[in-house]
């Protein structure tokens, strides 16, 4: 046991990790450039701490490339405390500026001189494609710049030899999500939070007055924010630069708006990307749209331009975790780089961190713009990536109801049910399933109050407009219970017979998974259960086997992070105070671990990583040391079931006793506030997409067997649909049984445990971080498998 660091890391492993990844004698410069984005500070913090951790010197380069050109006080060595308390701050503390001088060779010559004087030959650039392209040009010219500096006598020949090569790693910080090759750029999720907060607020006032609202969101050349927010709030119409409306859209849109009003919808929301254009590349403005609606329909219409609100505010939990992972990965990439490695970008693919060649990504990103300029719009959508294309197709399917005459009736009845505890995003999933089912010709049935309601016959047909406005609602409108079907099998089979149910979609947590296993086991006895059954995971605990993420976990994580931010603020005010916070999750430590990473906690106690009294003691010592620095506060997160004897009270009392005279303690149990609240943009979007995919699978299964009269008895007709690493996968429950720890209701293997060392390193514990699976550069993916991007 390594008592002065993380007990789970033997000394030898830690030493090997530092040998593999030594930063001794190296200097890293970190800068933020271009437009700011929430989460940039989290990335800066991770770069600084991981760099110092490996023994490298890390320098802040203030005001982007301008600071690099001006030198002097703009390039300053950072220490561990320099990045304390910045995780929850939006924008960038080291400043960002547009820089004309860096575009000239003279400017880059000055920048090279300033860097060489401090021995900085590793640069971590956080910015958009312009900033990253600039960095790549700089890297290409580096050796000739140094030769020129030596000729002018500004640096010595030894300097040229010693610093002859510049390594560059990029991280994309941009709220527009306009960079090809990465699923999410730093800041995008937070910008969506700002947009959705505004949309939710506008919806209540619009309902009161039966108004139409035109909302303009950012995205000069990229419609991602507009598209995803339209998907997340169920907007009536959306305008994107990549996919302009067809000729005659004015009339089509007005018909659509008046049809929605006729369906008793009291408001219309139209979302416009600031770069929206028509097929002739002429701009479509929000004012134009307003005038059109007022003139044609006479509706009371208002325009709201969100502007810079979208860049502001505190970063979401997703952005903090993304930026922390990318920052650590960027340092690893810099330390592993050789003169032969091309400049790379660290990016996200599904939930995997990957490295991609920088210029390949930049060229693809520029390719999208070129396609738009040349009016090859379908090409532009394809180049944006599979997740953008998927979002667009699902939006079209859910927003615009085809006339009944155009829908071929399938003759199938499909039931949707919520099982387990409520999770934010369940309603978005139900809405999506109902609308996709109807558009594919099925009759959709809603089951109320879980399996118990099913047995009692609380089941009725549900229509297109019945689920209008559901995406933003928290909890479960259908009602949900933890009761399993086991004791109601006869009654449920009878109800399925009565309503001729041909397929079942379960949206729920671990109980939903257990329920699916019970229904599957009862197939021999009850032929009514010989139908396609699929489950979409929805639980704050994120403990369903077969998926890396579940609906509701992101919302819960944001609640935990927001609360921790407030608590940290109160602790900084009082000084020398340690807070112990208990999270939900059953035996699954996902919320505690990821909450700790997003909130910058000092320790997280979870069931998956056993701990004893010596570990608690070493954490107390660690906090005692911390109180001697200028950061005089502590945050400790504990999962509710991490240990039956070391309860929250026990840990609180132990810390209070051991910390006497050094710090005092407070405890806080977060409880059910983690299950409530409006769903986050991620959960709305994830629920919508995964549920639509589940319905498409059901349709496929039913069509396959049509007219053959055969029953569904194979394992592959009872599945869990989930994200696994980078892909959406349907996995038979029979296969998942092997991978489940039923006693503790968790999967036997959980991907996020790999991120444990990351949290410990950023909190200054000794831990070894797995670097082996990441050192290879990949190429930008456009493969056939289903993308897991949200």
> What is the model's pLDDT at position 595?
97
Write phi, then psi, for 355 (nearest 5 degrees). -115, 135
Closest CA to 325 of 349, 353, 356, 357: 353
Residue 211 marked in a binding site: yes
Distance CA 72, CA 59 (A): 12
> What is the model's pLDDT at position 787?
52
> What is the model's pLDDT at position 727?
85
> What is the model's pLDDT at position 10?
56
Closest CA to 23 of 87, 119, 115: 119
Structural domain 404-551+680-743, CATH architecture: 3-Layer(aba) Sandwich (3.40)
Residue 666 marked in a binding site: yes
Are 31 and 65 spatial neighbours (Cβ–Cβ below 8 Å)?
A: yes
Residue 296 marked in a binding site: no
Write phi, then psi, for 777 (nearest 5 degrees). -80, 140
Q: Where are the domains of the chain?
A: 21-185+315-370, 191-308, 404-551+680-743, 554-675
Give the DSSP letter string of 178-190. --TT-S--BTHHH
Superfamily of domain 554-675: Phosphofructokinase domain (3.40.50.460)
In CATH, 191-308 is 1.10.3720.10: no
Annotated active-site residue 176? The verdict is: yes
With a CB cutoff of 8 Å and minimum separation 6, the contacts of 419 are 450, 451, 480, 481, 482, 506, 507, 508, 509, 511, 512, 515
> What is the model's pLDDT at position 772?
46
Q: Give me Rg for the CA atoms of the chain.
A: 27
Residue 577 marked in a binding site: yes
Ranges of the chain with pLDDT below 50: 1-5, 7-8, 772-773, 783-785
Residue 512 marked in a binding site: no
Are 386 and 180 spatial neighbours (Cβ–Cβ below 8 Å)?
A: no
Residue 1 marked in a binding site: no
Which tokens in the block code for residue 304?
């709201």
Residue 672 marked in a binding site: yes
Residue 220 marked in a binding site: yes
Active-site residue, from 6, 70, 176, 602 = 176
CATH number of 21-185+315-370: 3.40.50.450
DSSP classification of residue 481: B
With a CB cutoff of 8 Å and minimum separation 6, the contacts of 501 are 413, 414, 415, 445, 495, 528, 531
Residue 294 marked in a binding site: no
Residue 311 marked in a binding site: yes
Give per-residue pLDDT as tens, 135-144. Answer: 999 999 999 9
């Amino acid at each position: 046991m390594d008592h002065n660091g993380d007990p789970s890391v033997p000394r030898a492993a830690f030493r090997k990790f530092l040998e593999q990844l030594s930063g001794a004698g190296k200097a890293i410069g970190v800068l933020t450039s271009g437009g700011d984005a929430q989460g940039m500070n989290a990335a800066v913090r991770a770069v600084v701490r991981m760099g110092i951790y490996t023994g490298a010197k890390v320098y802040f380069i203030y005001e982007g490339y301008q600071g690099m050109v001006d030198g002097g006080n703009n390039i300053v060595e950072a220490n561990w405390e320099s990045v304390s308390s910045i995780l929850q701050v939006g924008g960038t503390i080291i400043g960002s500026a547009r820089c004309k001088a860096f575009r000239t060779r003279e400017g880059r010559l000055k920048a090279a001189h300033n860097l060489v004087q401090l021995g900085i030959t590793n640069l971590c650039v956080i910015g958009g494609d312009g900033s990253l392209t600039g960095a790549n040009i700089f890297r290409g010219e580096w050796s000739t710049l140094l030769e020129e500096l030596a000729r002018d006598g500004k640096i010595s020949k030894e300097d040229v030899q010693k610093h002859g090569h510049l390594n560059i790693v990029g991280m994309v910080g941009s709220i527009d999500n306009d960079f090809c090759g990465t699923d999410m750029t730093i800041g995008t999720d937070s910008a969506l939070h700002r947009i959705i907060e505004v949309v939710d607020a506008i919806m209540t006032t619009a309902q009161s007055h039966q108004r139409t609202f035109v909302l303009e969101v950012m995205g000069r050349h990229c419609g991602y924010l507009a598209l995803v927010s339209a998907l997340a709030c169920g907007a009536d119409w959306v305008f994107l630069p990549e996919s302009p409306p067809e000729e005659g859209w004015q009339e089509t849109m007005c018909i659509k708006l008046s049809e929605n009003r006729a369906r008793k919808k009291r408001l219309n929301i139209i979302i416009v990307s600031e770069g929206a254009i028509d097929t002739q590349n002429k701009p479509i403005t929000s004012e134009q749209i307003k005038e059109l609606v007022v003139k044609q329909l006479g509706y009371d219409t208002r325009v709201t331009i969100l502007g810079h609100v979208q860049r502001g505010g505190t970063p979401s939990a997703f952005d903090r975790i993304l930026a922390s992972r990318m920052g650590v990965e960027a340092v690893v990439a810099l330390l592993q780089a050789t003169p032969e490695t091309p400049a790379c970008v660290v990016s996200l693919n599904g939930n995997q961190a990957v490295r991609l060649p920088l210029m390949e990504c930049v060229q693809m990103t520029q390719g999208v713009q070129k396609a738009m300029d040349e009016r090859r719009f379908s090409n532009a959508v394809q180049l944006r990536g599979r997740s953008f294309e998927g979002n667009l197709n699902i939006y079209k399917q859910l927003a615009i109801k085809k006339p009944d005459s155009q829908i071929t009736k399938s003759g199938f009845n499909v039931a949707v049910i919520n099982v387990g505890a409520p999770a934010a995003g369940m309603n978005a999933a139900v809405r999506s399933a109902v609308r996709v089912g109807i558009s594919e010709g099925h009759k959709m049935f809603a089951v109320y109050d879980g399996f118990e309601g099913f047995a009692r016959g609380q089941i009725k047909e549900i229509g297109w407009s019945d689920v209008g406005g559901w995406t933003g609602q928290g909890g479960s409108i259908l009602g949900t219970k933890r009761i399993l079907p086991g004791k109601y099998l006869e009654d449920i089979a009878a109800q399925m017979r009565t309503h001729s149910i041909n397929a079942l979609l379960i949206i729920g947590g671990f109980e939903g998974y257990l329920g699916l296993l019970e229904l599957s086991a009862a197939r021999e006895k009850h032929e009514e259960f010989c139908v396609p059954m699929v489950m979409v995971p929805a639980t704050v605990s994120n403990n369903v086997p077969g998926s890396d993420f579940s609906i509701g976990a992101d919302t819960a994580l944001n609640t935990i992070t927001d609360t921790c931010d407030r608590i940290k603020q109160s602790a900084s005010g009082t000084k020398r105070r340690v807070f112990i916070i208990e999270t939900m999750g059953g035996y699954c430590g996902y919320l505690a671990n990821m909450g700790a990473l997003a909130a910058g906690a000092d320790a997280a106690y979870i069931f998956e990583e056993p701990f004893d009294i010596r570990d608690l003691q070493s954490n107390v010592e660690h906090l005692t040391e911390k109180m001697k620095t200028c950061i005089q506060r502590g945050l400790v997160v504990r999962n509710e079931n991490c240990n039956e004897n070391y309860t929250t009270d026990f840990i609180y009392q132990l810390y209070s006793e051991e910390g006497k005279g050094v710090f005092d303690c407070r405890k806080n149990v977060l409880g059910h506030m983690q299950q409530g609240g409006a769903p986050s943009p991620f959960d709305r979007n994830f629920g919508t997409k995964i549920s639509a995919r589940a319905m498409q699978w059901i349709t496929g299964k039913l069509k396959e067997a049509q007219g053959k009269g055969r029953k569904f008895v194979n394992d592959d007709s009872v599945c869990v649909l989930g994200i696994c690493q980078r892909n959406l996968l349907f996995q038979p429950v029979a296969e998942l049984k092997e991978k489940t720890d039923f006693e503790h209701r968790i999967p036997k293997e959980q991907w996020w445990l790999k991120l444990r060392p990351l949290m410990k390193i950023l909190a200054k514990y000794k831990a070894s971080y797995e670097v082996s699976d990441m050192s290879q550069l990949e190429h930008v993916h456009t493969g056939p498998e289903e993308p897991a991007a949200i």
